[in-house]
Structure 1
């Protein structure tokens, strides 16, 4: 029995995350559905979904892992269709169902390949064998590429993202569970099989390019959205792409820290989405000012000086990608303190910089602590690292262009394309309606066709 299941420090951490999120979402659901006749049906489906996620995390046998992976998708399907008469929920559920079946076939093919190559179905044994310094084989490359494709589908990377955006039609606890937990399974899969990914440069480059581009596009699209839940959904797709990029580069501690931070943030954001409008109105009444470009420059300069000193003293960032990511995050944190020109500007800047320095210290401590749970980092690919850093810089520049030069012809075209989601989900909608037609979905499609000619 012990060979069928495995509990390691890393898996214990993930189980702790599942327990905290599960209890929080369960309590919220019990209160939110207090007037629902089918509350028990929802709670049962929610508990079943959480149980299958636990099984995925603890499974040490390929067949058990695959069966649990399928069960997560099937139980989630019941939650998405808790209100089965909603056409948008049907469309999201049908897209998710079809893509899930594809990912499960790819995962089965990868597991069969690994079993035939290593002559064992024990996941721990497979990972240990793959960690040995052996020459790359075609079978190992194929298995790694298949695992990458599964992770890309599970993490809703473009152009397989549409279901994640439309699933906001489901009840709020479902969105919280999905965005805070289940989409992370793609990253968890690659973390568990990281030696196989690290042994295949082709699979790593595939993940870097596809997840990197998806991160940039989804991040820019989220800027154009007004709906709180839709904005959060696009943000999830972007954040999942970023996590996959970190795994592809071998930055496992950063990916694990990202996974935990994103899970808690998205759970809170969705469960608290009803108060977002109040926070927005309060900010308006407080007279928040929009930062000017010079304020971004001052914040970027202050962040750069802070990071140069920290990197010189502690060398805590191992790559250009990590430096670019932390640089942009701290800059966004500092810029509001530079914006308002009043007597309190200097104290606010000092307080915010002290807070940012504290975050850098906390990040360094967390990174070193998580290094005890993650696998050793492989040799960093300098070209891939530079490519992702360039993508992050592009994301930053384009996001500023959308805010400060909205009337430029090129920016206008970019905004229209982004506001339509890049028209990247059309193929999935057409294919879903062809393979799984229903009267309500066809009516929804006709309504979209007439109200938005660009859908054509």
Structure 2
């Protein structure tokens, strides 16, 4: 008992070993060996994560001296003000194990530590991340089988997963931030994995451009997050997680942060919380930093699943959930709820007008993340974490399912992503890909919140909390739920029903530029290999049954009890409305799209025919990218030109003239050194030598010579005396 908790450090270490081995050893030359090594190491991490969670659920608690003790249900409640719309409240529970080592001194007796902490929230996240990441690894074995850089791909996703796991387990916010930044680097590398891919359409973003866009956009939130950590360190002198002395959630410290007023009229707790939440806005792609996530679809589809499900975007929500006590004592929660609710509706509207199968799911992810953020904003901590966990499974399923669809479509239309991912070129795929279809339907029903599926229970709990705490937020989220059911039904109807249109795909305005631009028009789409369908089946089971861990009935609040938090209450009215919204959205989508694209992929979208202006706005994503290009992008271009002028006309000239002046001084110095120091010294030496030689010649040893010299000297002295002295 306690072995898994004591060895939980192996969970991030195993995928990290995969990264090191694949990157630095000859195994990288064998693509299959690299793929299976990374996958098997993830299986090992999953087993340890499951064992760790079982021990946490069993009440195992490891003391600092290694003694195994019974878990105590002690918690530390942070009481928010009554007018902040808190949900059921939140209590920081004492962890089951904390293991740290002294890492770096920080002045005086203070030092940064490095270590891990396991509590119920961490255990739940570990299970979710490892299971979904393992399924994504296995799917990638088949999906990336023919890619010449397959080993490089598995190296990157192994490091990505290791960073996410390390972030979840981090015992302090500094280590949390370090792992957070490693994920940012990995996302850059993975989104731009096909960096040599180009398009003839100059307006279409390429993978390398998408990678840069994601990296720069998320850095905005990360910088603000880092400033928040620096401010918290200044106030607290620590970044250690916990409620004890010298830890950031210490009640006395939180009370002081809430009472400290800044120069702009907000408390220190509010300022720190807003800066930390900026990290969430960037990583979880909330408005206005949402623009990077849809373009991240330029990476391989398993990357999309990894970013949108197990890692990256989930990290942002987890950050706010992990630092929730700071939010409770400040006034940042209304801002969190507003941004989350707005993003949920805004992204759902955009998804209605998209045609790329992956981008529809990307905007769906933005919307669902908005649900989680809004739940945290109204105090529904358990509801947010519940939806975070269930969403990871069914959204990973949907993205991997879209990858299976794309893989099947490429047999007919070739590897042009514009064609293979356009839902207008699909249709009737349920006949060609039955396993993918059934699994995708499970993910679809879970996402739209169809009664009985995982997404219904987790989304309903968010809506129930919102109905009780903030009616406006509930209304916005309910409308977003209706749109979710509508646009996902649109996707299902166009992709899997009707007639197959891939043999005569929609003509693209630009030719695709690629070294692998081939088409197989004689072939129908085909089902994917078992390495791709097996993960779909596993994730489909979670999409169906994962919701049972936290049913809203007495005695079935297993997840809330596991977290040690107060469970949500059953609200039959909200549950009925939620079910009606899901079914209504499905029916509406069926009515609009049941006869869509019947004869040709060139047909206009039914919604476009009904509301062409509105549909264009949605298809162009409310022109946010164009707005940013016209404002931030234009300002950056102007600043770039100014900087270029300063660099060329000022800095370069200063450097050049400084170089010339330095060269002149060097020439002067050379002249002085050569003419005076070197030649002068040589001349003195030569003169001394000549004088000595001449003097030596006067020493002849002859008396008559000495007498002659003495006489000459006497004559000279006499002359000097007569003419000078007298």
TM-score, with length taken from structure 1: 0.71
1:237 alignment partner in structure 2: 366
**What's the CA shift string for 1:30-86, capped at 9, x where partnerless?**
222222221111111110010111111111123211111111101221111111123
Question: Of 525, 535, 552, which residue of structure 2 is paired with 1:364?
Answer: 552
1:195 alignment partner in structure 2: 325
Matched, 1:50 2:161: yes
Please say if residues 154 and 185 of structure 1, whose CA atoms lie closer than 8 Å, have aligned partners that are also in contact: yes
Matched, 1:108 2:226: yes
**1:61-76 superposed matches below 5 A:** 61-76=172-187
1:340 alignment partner in structure 2: none
Q: What secondary structure is seen at the aligned counterpart in 1 of 2:557?
A: helix
For residues 408 and 24 of structure 1, the distance between their equivalents in structure 2, rounded to whole angstroms, comes to 37
| 1:237 to partner: Cα distance | 0.7
For residues 30 and 361 of structure 1, the distance between their equivalents in structure 2, rounded to whole angstroms, comes to 31
| 1:260 to partner: Cα distance | 1.2
For the structure 1 residues 111 and 132, does the alpha-carbon distance in structure 2 shift closer, same or farther, using more than 3 Å as the test?
Answer: closer
For residues 123 and 129 of structure 1, the distance between their equivalents in structure 2, rounded to whole angstroms, comes to 12
For residues 374 and 246 of structure 1, the distance between their equivalents in structure 2, rounded to whole angstroms, comes to 16
| 1:218 to partner: Cα distance | 0.6
Larger fraction in helix: 1
For the structure 1 residues 232 and 33, does the alpha-carbon distance in structure 2 shift closer, same or farther, using more than 3 Å as the test?
Answer: same
Q: In terms of mean alpha carbon deviation, does 428-437 or 125-134 score higher? A: 428-437
Count, aligned residues: 379
Q: In terms of mean alpha carbon deviation, does 207-216 or 316-325 score higher? A: 316-325
For residues 191 and 367 of structure 1, the distance between their equivalents in structure 2, rounded to whole angstroms, comes to 23
Matched, 1:415 2:415: no
Q: In terms of mean alpha carbon deviation, does 98-107 or 140-149 score higher? A: 98-107
Q: What secondary structure is seen at the aligned counterpart in 1 of 2:552?
A: helix
Q: What secondary structure is seen at the aligned counterpart in 2 of 1:250?
A: coil
| 1:416 to partner: Cα distance | 2.3
For the structure 1 residues 130 and 43, does the alpha-carbon distance in structure 2 shift closer, same or farther, using more than 3 Å as the test?
Answer: farther
Please say if residues 154 and 186 of structure 1, whose CA atoms lie closer than 8 Å, have aligned partners that are also in contact: yes
Q: What secondary structure is seen at the aligned counterpart in 1 of 2:145?
A: coil
Please say if residues 62 and 122 of structure 1, whose CA atoms lie closer than 8 Å, have aligned partners that are also in contact: yes
Please say if residues 236 and 253 of structure 2, whose CA atoms lie closer than 8 Å, have aligned partners that are also in contact: no
For residues 69 and 143 of structure 1, the distance between their equivalents in structure 2, rounded to whole angstroms, comes to 18
- Could you tell me which runs of 5 or more consecutive residues in structure 2 were left unpaired when the two chains were aligned: 1-98, 101-112, 199-205, 261-266, 409-425, 433-450, 490-543, 569-576, 593-605, 639-726
Q: What secondary structure is seen at the aligned counterpart in 1 of 2:428?
A: helix
For the structure 1 residues 128 and 368, does the alpha-carbon distance in structure 2 shift closer, same or farther, using more than 3 Å as the test?
Answer: farther
For the structure 1 residues 401 and 210, does the alpha-carbon distance in structure 2 shift closer, same or farther, using more than 3 Å as the test?
Answer: farther
Matched, 1:121 2:121: no
TM-score, with length taken from structure 2: 0.46
**What's the CA shift string for 1:281-306, capped at 9, x where partnerless?**
16799xxxxxxxxxxxxxxxx99xxx
2:57 alignment partner in structure 1: none
| 1:409 to partner: Cα distance | 11
Q: What secondary structure is seen at the aligned counterpart in 2 of 1:372?
A: helix
For residues 198 and 69 of structure 1, the distance between their equivalents in structure 2, rounded to whole angstroms, comes to 23
Please say if residues 174 and 239 of structure 2, whose CA atoms lie closer than 8 Å, have aligned partners that are also in contact: yes
For residues 405 and 609 of structure 2, the distance between their equivalents in structure 1, rounded to whole angstroms, comes to 32
**1:8-407 superposed matches below 5 A:** 8-87=119-198, 88-124=206-242, 125-129=247-251, 135-137=258-260, 138-181=267-310, 182-201=312-331, 203-276=332-405, 280-281=427-428, 317-320=464-467, 363-364=551-552, 368-374=557-563, 376=565
For residues 150 and 429 of structure 2, the distance between their equivalents in structure 1, rounded to whole angstroms, comes to 34
Which structure has the larger Rg?
2
**What's the CA shift string for 1:146-179, capped at 9, x where partnerless?**
1122111111122322221111111011101011
For residues 375 and 234 of structure 2, the distance between their equivalents in structure 1, rounded to whole angstroms, comes to 29
Structure with more contact order per residue of length (Cα contacts < 8 Å, sep ≥ 6): 1
For residues 436 and 264 of structure 1, the distance between their equivalents in structure 2, rounded to whole angstroms, comes to 41
**What's the CA shift string for 1:369-428, capped at 9, x where partnerless?**
22234475799xxxxxxxxx9xxx9xx99x969987x88999544322212100112244
For the structure 1 residues 173 and 319, does the alpha-carbon distance in structure 2 shift closer, same or farther, using more than 3 Å as the test?
Answer: closer
| 1:359 to partner: Cα distance | 7.0
